Structure 1
């Protein structure tokens, strides 16, 4: 009787993907590779031909701030390097026009756990551009909380 009166609860919770979601999933399905035991995937750019401004100045400013912070407690950074969690960045050609973006990041040190966690700032903007604004978001693959609760309630009444 319950199922007959409230049959919309039996319908699957399926949402249609946008064109951007489909593009994102197609990119991830076809471009993920495994290199030296680690998975690598491309950045899901909205536009493959995007030209970003050279944000080297912003990266150097953030690096100077980090250097000041770590100079107060050099053991934390040395331990991070010794464990292999960080390494010196290789020298690279910085003449790549519009195809390079320095990803700002900072460390958050947990005093109780004695661990350093790296936080990447993809929302950082430089000359009106940010990495977040140029990346595909991808589909929401999580179940809705309302749907999970309703299915749980229905299963209780059905048993």
Structure 2
């Protein structure tokens, strides 16, 4: 179901950007308002950033890049009773990259037992199993590794689905 939906609805727009729908389950459960929960999490993030000026600077740099690269935009006001979902946001550091914060958009956060992940279809499992990795390890003479940045921000959410991945910034 997921792959069929992506094949049919994942397209390039007139500007060359990839546009994708959120792969909602059919039928799907309506999302409850998680505004209060997301606001609470945004306030907790703000308090954490205020206690640590270096982390605050790293986080502001991360958010500036997201906005500058058009991976996010300021949301227009919602109409009354319009369904939306706010993604709680927090930052983590990789042990080997102490000067770079990674923003995590928490789509598994639950409100009244429902999360954004719970109403979306699950894509195919793309992870390699360890046995296959070990068997292919010595196949070629050269191994290549890469650190891909911004991989998950390289598409635009379809316009009628943009109310679901909203972010509160306190």
Specify the TM-score bucket, using the shorter chain as the normaliser. 0.5 to 0.7
* Cα distance between partner residues in 2 of 1:133 and 1:49: 9
Unaligned stretches of 5+ residues in structure 2: 140-170
Correspondence for 2:42: 63
* Cα distance between partner residues in 1 of 2:74 and 2:35: 14
* Cα distance between partner residues in 2 of 1:94 and 1:60: 19
Of structures 1 and 2, the one with the larger relative CO (CA 8 A, separation 6+) is 2
The reply on whether 1:89 has 2:74 as its aligned counterpart is: yes
List, as ranges, runs of 4+ consecutive aligned residues in structure 1 with deviation greater than 6 Å: 150-153
* Cα distance between partner residues in 1 of 2:26 and 2:135: 40
* Cα distance between partner residues in 2 of 1:44 and 1:134: 9
* Cα distance between partner residues in 2 of 1:152 and 1:118: 32
* Cα distance between partner residues in 2 of 1:77 and 1:150: 40
Pick the aligned partner of 1:128 from 87, 92, 113.
113
Shift of 1:43: 1.1
* Cα distance between partner residues in 1 of 2:58 and 2:132: 45
Instruction: Note the aligned Cα RMSD (angstroms).
Output: 3.1
Shift of 1:150: 6.3
CA contact (8 A) 1:123 1:130 kept: yes
* Cα distance between partner residues in 1 of 2:123 and 2:21: 13
CA 1:49 to 1:133, structure 2 compared with 1: closer, same or farther past 3 Å? closer
- What is the TM-score normalised by the length of structure 1? 0.64
Which has the larger share of helix?
1
Pick the aligned partner of 1:79 from 27, 44, 61.
61
- After superposition, the C-alpha distances for 1:62-91 in whole angstroms (9 at most, x for unaligned) are 11011112223143344345x533477334
CA contact (8 A) 1:70 1:76 kept: no
- What is the TM-score normalised by the length of structure 2? 0.61
* Cα distance between partner residues in 2 of 1:151 and 1:109: 31
Unaligned stretches of 5+ residues in structure 1: 1-22
